[in-house]
Structures are given as structure tokens and as C-alpha cells.
Amino acid sequence: MEDAKDETTHQRERHKTQLYIDVKATQWPIIYSAEYNIGFLGLEKLHPFDSAKWGRVFEFLKEAGMVRDDTIITPLEAREEDLTIVHSRTYLNSLKWSWNVAGITEIPPVALLPNFVVQRKVLRPFRYQTGGTILAGKLAIDRGWAINIGGGFHHCSAERGGGFCAYADITLSIKFLFEKVQGVSKVMIVDLDAHQGNGHERDFMSDDRVYIMDVYNRGIYPHDGFAKRGIKRKVELQHFTEDDTYLSLVRNHIEGSLNEFTPDIIVYNAGTDILDGDPLGNLSISSQGIIERDQIIFQKARTRNIPIFMVTSGGYLKETARIIADSILNLKAVGLIRCDEAEFSDIPEIEAAMRRSQSDGGLFSKMKRACLSRSSTTELNQIDNIQPTSNTR
């Protein structure tokens, strides 16, 4: 038994991850990839989760002028050797059977697809988001804060997936920090998704280095009584809890948690399924309530000089993408997140040229008009020279 443990230890020591990529000073510690989004023949629409939410959050941030393609960070896909820091090969091999993935994602038709399609169209986006969460932990230590626009798969534990969560990205990010980042020995998870975070609770149940605060609706999935033993500060909500009650509980309990436990970093699971009308969360929090909630958590972390990184987790209404973006913009507006190097970095020349081309005086615009003019003249000449075709082959 000891030999097996030693071998596992040696394997982890030998593990050289590529996920902790080099990041430019001119990039926001905001992580996103177009690979996050899930889409295949409309099957994603069979689950209430908005599988394009992450991309829409990014587009809203771009439209607001906060970020550009070159000022955010694109993560790498988590590889099997990364995933085995937490997951057993038995569990990872179980994902090679499409019906297992269908159960985890709660989309029965996935069971009928060849597994190579499932790997490419369903699990690969999850692996990219997992890579993003792992990177967010390191970035938060380096920069003081980070946001992964995806991630937050809090129902997945080392040996079991479920609830649209195939990889334990929160557990993985923490294990990476413990093993690869000097000075990280205590972590707090603040889980404010509407659902109980039973995955990370099972994984850290006996680990005193991890303090879990979980605020969730007690009347909905997953009803995992065993996992509740892993919660250090448990706040169970009733159906249709509204802003005043909810925000008061969040404010009081985050303060109490930080008075009990001083972490080296906070993992913030910022689910938006608490939104009023969400079909799975069954709570009644307004969009402004969500924005204020996020501000409370970041305020507590930043004023105590504790690094924090956020993952976006659940949210089953189309409006949640707009709310997530608005919340990030609010964090910037109130000075809780900033990156002057990114905000005031020069626009790449090619992008600047494209912007100029949108005005009448732009070079690209003039070239385009000239080309269209020549094209139109040529097309008219060609039309004049067209000869009738014969029906004989």
C-alpha cells in the first residue's frame, strides 16, 4: 500500500503541466476561449443550460470596450496527465462510453453518438474550461484576482460526475495550487451557486486545508447528505428567497467565514442560477442582487488582501450572460478589479486598420469601394458578353 502511495507521489512530482502558461502584462487576468462553447446538431438545446453562455459573456465585455481578443487570456485544454492529478484513470476511462457522458450531461441522445464525437463536441469544451480554472488559480496568486468566464463544475468529484459536470475543475485548481505554487497551504471555497457543491465537498471532506462555505437552496438537486459533512459553513435557503434576505446572509456569513479561517486564496463559484425565474435554481434573486453579491465577495477578499478567482458555474436563463458581464463591468467600475496595462494597451495595427476601414476615410474602405467598383464594371461587361447556351450536351 505504501509503495502505491509513493508511486503516486512520484508521478505527481514528475508531472509537468503546460496549463500555467506565460501571460503578458497587457492581458487582463480574464480567461476565455471560443472552445468553451458547446454546439452539435442542436442536441445541446435538450438541456436547459445555455451552452453558448460563455461566448456571449465575452462578446458583451468586448462591446463594452473592457476587453479585446488580444487583452484576454486563452487557456490550454487540460490533458489526461493534468486530469489524473485528481481523477482516477478508471473514471476518465468511463467517459469513453457515451452513455456515461449522457448521464452526466443529462442529455439522453448523447448515448447514441459515437464516443469520438462526444469527446470532441461535449467533453473537449469542458476540458478547455477546466484548463481555464486551473490557470485562474495561478493568475490570482500572481495578479491578486482572476476570472474564468467558464468553469465551476462543482457537482463532479474525483470519482463521479453529474449535474452537467464531467471534470472536477475546482478540486483540480486547488490541488495544482497546493502542489505547484509556493505559499499556498490554505484555500477557501465560497460556493454561491443555487445548488449544493457536492463534488468539491466530497473531495475535501477530510482536508483541513480547505474551508467550504456553501449557500444553496436545500430543496433542489443534488440532496447529497453525505457531502454536507464537508461544509464548514452551511447556509441552506428556502424556495423563493429574495434579495434582502439573501444578501444579508451572504454578507454575514462571508465575514464570519473569514473570521474563522484565513485562506491564502479564495475560489469563488459564482453561479447565476439564483436568478428569479431560473427553472432549476428556484430562488428569487434579481439581476442587481447578483451584481451586488459578487461585489460583496470581491470586496471582502480585496480589502483583506486575499487573492480571489471566480468561475461562472450554473445559470439556466438567457439573461444570465448579460448579468455576468454586467457584474464584471461593475467590479471594474467600483475599482475592485483593474489592469491598467491591458486597459490602456495599444490596439494591434491590424485591428486599428479594420476600425479605420469602417469610416469613409479609411484606407481599407477606399480599397473596398474601388474593388467593388471594378468588380461591378467587370460583372456588367461579362453579362453583356454572355452567349446563349445550347441545350445539346
The catalytic residue positions are 155
Q: Prior bond to 222 cis, omega within 30?
A: yes
Task: List own/partner pairs for 111-114 with CB under 8 A and 24 or more apart.
Answer: 113/43
Are the C-beta atoms of 269 and 294 separated by less than 8 Å? Answer: no
